[in-house]
Every structure is written in structure tokens, then in C-alpha cells.
Amino acid sequence: MLTRRILIAAIFAAFASTAQAQEQHARLPVVATFSILGDIVSNVGGDRIGVKTLVGPNGDAHVYSPSPADAKTLADAKVVVTNGLGFEGWLARLIKSSNTKAPNIIASRGIKPRALAGAHSHAGHSHGHSNGDPHAWQSVANVKIYVANIRDGLIKADPAGKAAYEANAATYLAKLDALEGQIKDIVSKIPPERRKIITTHDAFGYFKDAYGVEFIAPQGVSTDSEASARDVARIITQIRKQKIPAVFIENISDARLLTRIADETGAKVGGTLYSDALTDEKGLAPTYIDLIRHNIRTLSAALQS
């Protein structure tokens, strides 16, 4: 009788501890708007959170059309992380239709938006993004600010995870410091007069400001309108005049325009740059750090030779 009781007690104890372990591992449901942000959030949240992204690998967040499933994903979220700076123009309506009450961490909060050279306004309406250039993640220094905002927002939503979020953020920030050093080192080896390239849309302004490689694009900071014939002609003239060595395709954009520009000018196609989205696991840029490393290696290889 006694042994049976002990056995039952032992089974109950085992049960209870399993349930407790499961409870401890119930992940905080977090939604990030696009793949690059989702990776950064995963690094800070670690195994305390479960991240879902709305715009997936190789997706274009500028022109995204949310689905009913996205509204459900948002409704189930306890935290929503967004880029801000006018990047997710479709989000406000989606948030409203989902009825989510989840707090919104704006990852770019505190970053001074880059002014747009091409933006101008007429009486009554303006062209270009009212918030400036949204692609702040192309500077690693800015992503360090994203990490701090995400860390602080997660601690607010899940105070019990404070130590874990702080430790994860510190580990990731150290990796970002190393990444920044690598970029500066690689750029320093490219002859200054060759630090100029063409891409499809104007996504690399923050990279240019931070690391001194000039990017020129026929399309503006959004992909929502096509490049005009005049913009394409201007780029072709500029490539010839400034002897720009290479043009680059982007993973989120149609390659045909850039291929045509390369054909007409004799500039070489230097490869693919990842601007606004990661690749899937099998691709060359499944994480933010991979994306930056891939981009800097690809452009330096094309500009060296």
C-alpha cells in the first residue's frame, strides 16, 4: 500500500513538473511586420517569444496586401513590432480590422530619419514619404537602436523576462559591433572613386551615409511607383559620365530594368543585393547579419575589379 502511494505521488510530481516546464516555455506571441525585423526581434527575445512575420522572405513590404490570416495573427499577438518611418503604410488599417490591443514597439523610435533628396511638395499635397527614408536598418548603428527599443518593449510586456532580454540584447549588440567593424574594413579597401553603384530602388541611403558607398537608383524610396523614362535616362547618363562600375539587382525587385540599364551602359551586373527582405533558410541572407555580410562582400567584389 505504502509503495503504491509513493508511486502515485511520484507520478503526480512528475506530471506537475512537466506541466510547470511547459508553462515556463509558453512563448510570448510577438508579430514583426517584415522578415528583417523578425530576425532582429528573435535575437532579442530568444526562446521566451514566438515570432511571426507578416511580410515573409523576399517579400516587398512597400506594396504588401494583408490577408485575413494576417488579421488573425495580429489578434493573437501580445506584442507587435514595426519599423515605423512610414514603411508599413498598410498596417494601420490591418491593426484596426484585427482589433488587437497588443502594444506596438516602433523599432526605429529615436532615429533621425534621413531626408529625401527627391521629395518635394506642392501646395496641398506632397510627394515621397512624409516620414523620410524608412530603410534605417541599412545602417548597423541604427539597428543597435532597434535592438534597444525591442529589448525595452519586451521587458515592459514581459517583466519576468528582463534578465533574459538584457542578456540576449547584449550578445546580439556585440555581434553587431563586430559586423560594423567588418563593413568599415571592407569599404576602406575599395578605391574611393569606385564606391558608387546602381540599385533598383533607393533603399541604401542609410548605408551610404554610414559607410560612404554611394547608391543611385532609378526608383524612389518606395517600390509603389515605377521608374519613369526620364529617371532611367538620367541614370544612364550618370553611369556613363561618372564611370559607375556596376549595377545590382535586388531580391525584392524585378531584375529587367537593371539588366537593361547594364546592357545600355556596359556597366556590369554585380550580383543581387538584399534590400528590404531576408531570403529563406536556403538562401544567402537568412538573417540580418548574413544580409549585411552578403551585401558588403558582393559590392566590394564588383567594385574592386
For binding to Zn ion (CB under 5 A), which residues are involved?
203, 276
The least distance separating Zn ion from the CB of residue 236, rounded to whole angstroms, comes to 22
Shortest separation between residue 223's beta carbon and Zn ion, angstroms: 6
Question: What are the CA-CA distances from residue 222 to residues 22, 57, 129, 144 (Å)?
Answer: 44, 18, 8, 24
Q: Which residue bears the cell 508599413? A: 88
Nearer to Zn ion, 221 or 262 (CB): 221
Secondary structure (DSSP) of 197-262: EE-SBS--HHHHHHH--EEE-SB-SSSSSPPPHHHHHHHHHHHHHHT--EEEEETTS-SHHHHHHH
Triad 107, 82, 161: Cα angle to 5°:
65
Q: Which is nearer to Zn ion, 70 or 276 (CB)?
A: 276
- Nearer to Zn ion by Cβ, of 39 and 276: the residue is 276
What is the C-alpha separation between 263 and 164, in angstroms, rounded? 52
Beta bridge mates, 82: 106
Least distance between Zn ion and beta carbon 108 (Å): 14
Nearer Cβ to Zn ion (36/105): 36
Q: How far is the CB of 65 from Zn ion (least distance, A)?
A: 16
How many whole angstroms separate alpha carbon 15 and alpha carbon 8? 10
Minimum CB–partner distance for residue 248 and Zn ion (Å): 14
> Which CB, 102 or 278, lies closer to Zn ion?
278
